[in-house]
RNA sequence: GGUCGGGUGGCCGAGUGGCUAGGCAGAGGUCUGCAAAACCUUUUACACCGGUUCGAAUCCGGUCCUGACCUCCA
């Protein structure tokens, strides 16, 4: 397994050659969603980005174990505990079983991921399903001297940890500054240090999700689940840990501290962070109220949208930007991507219809190499897509008879498009053409050709315009061969 | 305030010390009974001010603007 893949590592803030711990095995852990409400499009972008990464690693021949957790505890509890509206809180507590919420939004999340054609992870562990592992890990951290218990709550001792490790390795912040500028968290009077965070929290009487532990009845802290589950399924030290950039400063920083304190090793060799999806330049988030739900996008039921956009067009839109760049979301940008996507897929469809000639006027190997170069450069999908449009241009020109290609050229083009469009980018035709429809269309096109041959243009136009209003577009090429596609 | 990013043509977005991605939109043309598609040609760029250099939008310094994180959030 010798690839030229280079990955930007947040730990070092540089691009590094990718060298797995145990090739050809690759362990990939990605922080998944907290399932207490619908995932919005910004969440989806991260998972589509890591789907691209997963797919490309598979394409290169790595045997990838992809673990993406479902957070169904901790955050959820925190969310319910806060806020001033005690009435609402009570209603929530009385009317809904937390696991009902978890189930509902987990299913919704999976449905959306399927629409985006994201490959499911190999393991999708839940926090509530790994309480024992989390407790064991906390016990080990205490035994190692990096955590302490106060009144049923266990805190991580950041100050102690800092004496031996670099706590802010991911973000490069200064500790003094952190101490001065961090907001007061709960439990200040019982914590030893201001930056100490909870590994295990004592449950208040009204708390529904609770488990017994050596420290009494309680529930796990916000960060321990990922440490416990990643080491369980990928080992104490694995290859890639990923998530959204917003997680780096707190969640991942604490995750590294916990894993180091427990296992004395840096949990992941490469830390990858995806950037945010923005709306009018500002981050899409629930608290800002500017989040798009996938459903609103697909139906077009949103004030900023002129119409609905298909999941594949949206996926293509996301892949046209690099995963480490912010991507600005707008109706106009989506329109552009939608057309580009259709152009790409239309050319893909023409591959079957190309006619070979003895002369070659192109170098597919060179194009293929450029595609690999793009992806090897930290998964640069926008450059890959630019190269694929070169392939589109070749395919269209061959189809038009303006360029000649040998059968070998055509085979290689097909292979290139299959690999990169379908396997790596994970794009697919959205409308399945049933055999019945294909036969029917052949028949109708035949009727129209007859009419055209007889110069009965009234009839042929009636067919063309009629089909167009049904969403089917006819295209006559120079040889008067008619093809069709949905619009 | 601290940390880390950005500012690229009408829009979205790559990239690089000289050969100026790509998609969409705009303009002209070819083809076509028409239309669409396709193909060809083409108009708009690298925030501002200095510096380094034979040469910078790309490197360095400064200025302005802007985003994310520092509090649950992908």
Of A residues 217-246, those with CB within 7 angstroms of nucleic strand B are 222, 243-246
Least confident of A31-40, A51-60, A255-264, A340-349: A31-40
Beta carbons within 8 Å of A256's beta carbon, 6+ residues apart: A169, A170, A266, A267
Identify any residues that bridge with A320 across adjacent strands, giving them in sequence order: none
Averaged over A312-326, what is the pLDDT? 95
**Res. A186 pLDDT band, cuts 50 70 90:** low
Beta carbons within 8 Å of A137's beta carbon, 6+ residues apart: A224, A227, A228, A231, A258, A262
If you search the block for the tokens 């304190």, which residue do you land on?
A: A261
Of A residues 314-333, those with CB within 7 angstroms of nucleic strand B are 317, 320-322, 325-328, 330, 332-333
In the structure encoding, which two tokens stand for residue A7, read together? 């990955």
Query: What would the CATH number be for the domain defined by A278-424?
Result: 1.10.730
A389 CA to B43 C1' in angstroms comes to 22
Total residue count of chain A as it appears in this document: 487
> Which positions on strand B lie below 7 Å from a protein C-beta?
1-5, 10-15, 21-25, 31-40, 66-74
To the nearest whole number, what is the mean pLDDT of chain A? 89
Tell me the percentage of chain A whose pLDDT exceeds 70: 93
Q: What radius of gyration, in Å, describes the C-alpha atoms of chain A?
A: 27
Residue spans of the domains in chain A: they are: 6-274, 278-424, 435-486
Closest protein residue to B40 (Cα–C1'): A402
Nucleotide at minimal C1' distance from the A197 CA = B71
Q: Is A284's CB less than 7 Å from nucleic acid strand B? A: yes
Q: Is the ipTM of this complex over 0.90?
A: yes
Q: Is A248's CB less than 7 Å from nucleic acid strand B? A: yes
Least confident of A106-110, A128-132, A285-289, A334-338: A285-289
Vertex A241 angle, CA A24 and A149, to 5°: 130
Of A residues 85-144, those with CB within 7 angstroms of nucleic strand B are none
Least confident of A194-208, A279-293, A296-310, A352-366: A279-293
Give residue A291's pLDDT. Answer: 82
Averaged over A186-195, what is the pLDDT? 78
Tell me the fold of A6-274.
Rossmann fold (3.40.50)
Q: How would DSSP label each residue in A295-315?
A: HHHHHT-STT-SS---HHHHH
Task: Name which of A255, A313, A295 is nearest A48 in CA terms.
Answer: A313
């Amino acid at each position: 397994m010798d690839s030229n893949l280079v990955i930007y590592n947040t730990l070092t803030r540089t691009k590094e050659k990718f060298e797995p711990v145990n090739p050809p095995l690759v362990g990939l852990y990605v922080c998944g969603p907290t399932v207490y409400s619908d995932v919005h499009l910004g969440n989806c972008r991260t998972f589509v980005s890591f789907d691209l990464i997963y797919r490309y690693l598979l394409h290169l021949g790595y045997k990838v174990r992809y673990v993406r957790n479902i957070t169904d505890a901790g955050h959820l509890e925190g969310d319910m505990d806060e806020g001033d509206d005690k009435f609402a809180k009570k209603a929530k507590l009385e009317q809904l079983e937390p696991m009902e919420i978890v189930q509902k939004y987990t299913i919704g999340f999976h449905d959306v991921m399927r629409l985006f054609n994201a490959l499911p992870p190999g393991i999708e562990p839940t926090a509530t399903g790994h309480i024992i592992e989390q407790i064991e890990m906390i016990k080990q951290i205490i035994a190692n001297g990096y955590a302490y218990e106060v009144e049923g709550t266990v805190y991580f001792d950041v100050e102690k940890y800092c004496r031996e490790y670099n706590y802010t390795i991911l973000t490069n912040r200064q500790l003094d500054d952190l101490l001065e500028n961090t907001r007061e968290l709960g439990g200040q009077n019982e914590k030893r240090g201001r930056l100490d965070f909870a590994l295990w929290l004592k449950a208040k009487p009204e708390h529904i999700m609770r488990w017994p532990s050596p420290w009494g009845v309680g529930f796990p802290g916000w960060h321990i689940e990922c440490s416990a589950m990643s080491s369980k399924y990928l080992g104490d030290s694995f290859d890639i840990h990923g998530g959204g950039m917003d997680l780096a400063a707190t969640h991942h920083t604490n995750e590294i501290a916990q894993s180091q304190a427990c296992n004395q090793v840096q949990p992941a060799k490469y830390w990858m962070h995806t950037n945010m999806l923005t709306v009018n330049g500002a981050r899409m988030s629930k608290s800002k109220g500017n989040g798009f739900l996938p459903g609103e996008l697909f139906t077009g039921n949103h004030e900023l949208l002129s119409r609905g956009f298909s999941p594949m067009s949206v996926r293509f839109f996301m892949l046209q930007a690099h995963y480490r760049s912010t991507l600005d979301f707008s109706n106009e940008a989506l329109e552009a991507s939608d057309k580009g996507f259709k152009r790409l897929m239309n050319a893909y469809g023409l591959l079957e219809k190309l006619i070979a000639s003895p002369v070659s006027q192109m170098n597919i190997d060179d194009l293929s190499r450029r595609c690999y170069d793009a992806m090897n450069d930290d998964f640069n999908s926008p450059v890959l897509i630019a190269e694929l449009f070169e392939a589109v241009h070749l395919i269209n020109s061959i189809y038009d008879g303006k360029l000649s290609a040998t059968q070998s050229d055509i085979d290689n083009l097909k292979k290139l498009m299959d690999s990169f469009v379908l396997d790596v980018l994970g794009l697919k035709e959205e409308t399945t053409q049933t055999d019945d429809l294909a036969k029917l269309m052949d028949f109708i096109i035949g009727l129209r050709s007859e009419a055209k041959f007889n110069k009965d243009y009234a009839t042929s136009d009636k067919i063309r315009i009629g089909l167009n209003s049904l969403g089917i577009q006819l295209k006559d090429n120079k040889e008067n061969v008619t093809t069709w596609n949905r619009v």
